[in-house]
Structure 1
């Protein structure tokens, strides 16, 4: 039996593991045992003659050979999906957008209907992402990413300026008003989105405050969880205008007038992903939606 048919299921399994970055999570999603997943991967690796995954602190990462195979698999499955849609008389223009659930819920989702009405021929798929990394490996055509725009893993286009400022609950505000920021900051746990984030360092520089080597930091990658953690008094975090409702309700308070003016949301297209008219259409539509954050 030809290898492409014999290993069709194994390749689909491989693609799922690459998506979850975990043998256990992929096994649960596919209703398989972890042992069965590991066996199929080993069998596939033996037939291919090269390894597909290597273990890391965060789970498993793709090897260079695994990255190339994933790109080939995604192209193959997208082609099949396109043919099925064509047979059904539906659109073959698909677009996968990587975005955090925080941005999707607070800004993007309420506006999406207008894009769908303007472009009924584009099949849009939102892929929830916490850390917008390895975009190519995750099959993302375009990502919406928060930060300063200083990334080297794709073509970056400024999209939505959204200055970042420190926010906390009522107790944090009282501490700042009582001690002043220079003393208060040493009493706070600083919440960050990932361990190599420079956002707090950037803000301290803008605010003219001394940098400190700190151990009292808490990494919370999910922005939604980070907002709730600040509301609950677990620390302070850099936030933006998308927490307007919490500010109006008195759940959160802006703790300083200083902000990171160059921070906001950027569009990032993986360099190895071919330019597509659907990406251009969505990018242009997003640019036209910039006015207002309501």
Structure 2
């Protein structure tokens, strides 16, 4: 009996580590030491007879066995949550949407009331995310992701076309006007959303500019921080019409007529055999209001 209770606690810890993909982050969230977390994982792995995690440069990844166990844990906890909701007389139809706070504040939030009115039986949860990847590990049913849609980690549905263009502050605009793009671009720090992004390379090709091997790039995953960094003159970034307010207030400026036409916002659903009814309802609602 004691071993069963120990396993229950260890499995809850395992699910948290899988969500954060980091022993350190999970330990901080659970108010535990990293050593205590590591010990419990090693104990659980010893009892199970197989490894759950493998380390990488950024944290940890799930092994094949770890992913199977996570799926089983998630189903278990979801069943408990649904039963508790049923006991309270509430709807068990829940929907977790992964979204950046940038998109949520500038586009999604003002429109959400109509979804809640149309689907009062769905309990909606917006999960703020910076890196909209590893959706299953983070318990996300569907995510709204910016880019060109060429991803392989989920089922992709085109949603909101929003061509990307380079934006900068007044000083950046003056430099482009004075020097021209071919000379000016080599003087700018290019802000990216993640380290393996090809967006700037795509734009340079679209604009017909020569490719340059460069190191003066800055990775800022949070779009809100990236907007402010451009306003503050830390570099230039590829943005879209969601910065309309900053454009109107002359805090930011479009630096070129060339755009990445195929960029925008896409719905990404984790690879599952059958989508939930709540996901279908949310997707249909989004497609109807865009």
TM-score range, shorter chain: over 0.9
The alignment partner of 2:146 has SS state of strand
Do the aligned partners of 2:53 and 2:61 also contact (CA within 8 Å) in 1? yes
**Aligned equivalents of 1:67 and 1:6: distance in 2?**
20
C-alpha offsets along residues 108-138 of structure 1, whole Å, 9 cap, x if unaligned? 1121121111111111111222121111222
Q: Which residue of 2 aligns with 1:80?
A: 80
C-alpha offsets along residues 128-182 of structure 1, whole Å, 9 cap, x if unaligned? 2212111122221111111111111221111000000000011100000100111
- Listed as ranges, the gaps of 5+ residues in structure 2 are none
In the TM superposition, residue 272 of structure 1 has moved relative to its aligned partner by 2.5
Do the aligned partners of 2:192 and 2:218 also contact (CA within 8 Å) in 1? yes
Establish whether residue 194 from structure 1 lines up as the match of residue 189 from structure 2.
no
Q: Which residue of 2 aligns with 1:48?
A: 48
Do the aligned partners of 1:136 and 1:272 also contact (CA within 8 Å) in 2? no
**Aligned equivalents of 1:261 and 1:9: distance in 2?**
49
In the TM superposition, residue 70 of structure 1 has moved relative to its aligned partner by 1.0
C-alpha offsets along residues 29-60 of structure 1, whole Å, 9 cap, x if unaligned? 11212221111111111111111112211112
**Aligned equivalents of 1:266 and 1:256: distance in 2?**
24
**Aligned equivalents of 1:285 and 1:183: distance in 2?**
46
RMSD: 1.3
Matches of residues 1-294 of structure 1 in structure 2 within 5 Å? 1=1, 4-272=4-272, 274-290=274-290
Do the aligned partners of 1:136 and 1:273 also contact (CA within 8 Å) in 2? no
Do the aligned partners of 1:163 and 1:261 also contact (CA within 8 Å) in 2? yes
**Following superposition, which runs of at least 4 residues in structure 1 exceed 3 angstroms of deviation?**
2-6
The alignment partner of 1:265 has SS state of strand
The alignment partner of 2:176 has SS state of helix
**Aligned equivalents of 2:54 and 2:86: distance in 1?**
38
In the TM superposition, residue 275 of structure 1 has moved relative to its aligned partner by 1.2
**Aligned equivalents of 1:66 and 1:274: distance in 2?**
22
**Aligned equivalents of 2:4 and 2:129: distance in 1?**
31
When normalised by structure 2's length, the TM-score is 0.97
**Aligned equivalents of 1:55 and 1:12: distance in 2?**
20
Greater CA drift, 33-42 or 276-285: 33-42
The alignment partner of 2:54 has SS state of strand
What is the aligned residue count?
Answer: 290
**Aligned equivalents of 2:19 and 2:107: distance in 1?**
25
The alignment partner of 1:288 has SS state of helix
**Aligned equivalents of 1:105 and 1:3: distance in 2?**
46
In the TM superposition, residue 99 of structure 1 has moved relative to its aligned partner by 1.1
When normalised by structure 1's length, the TM-score is 0.95
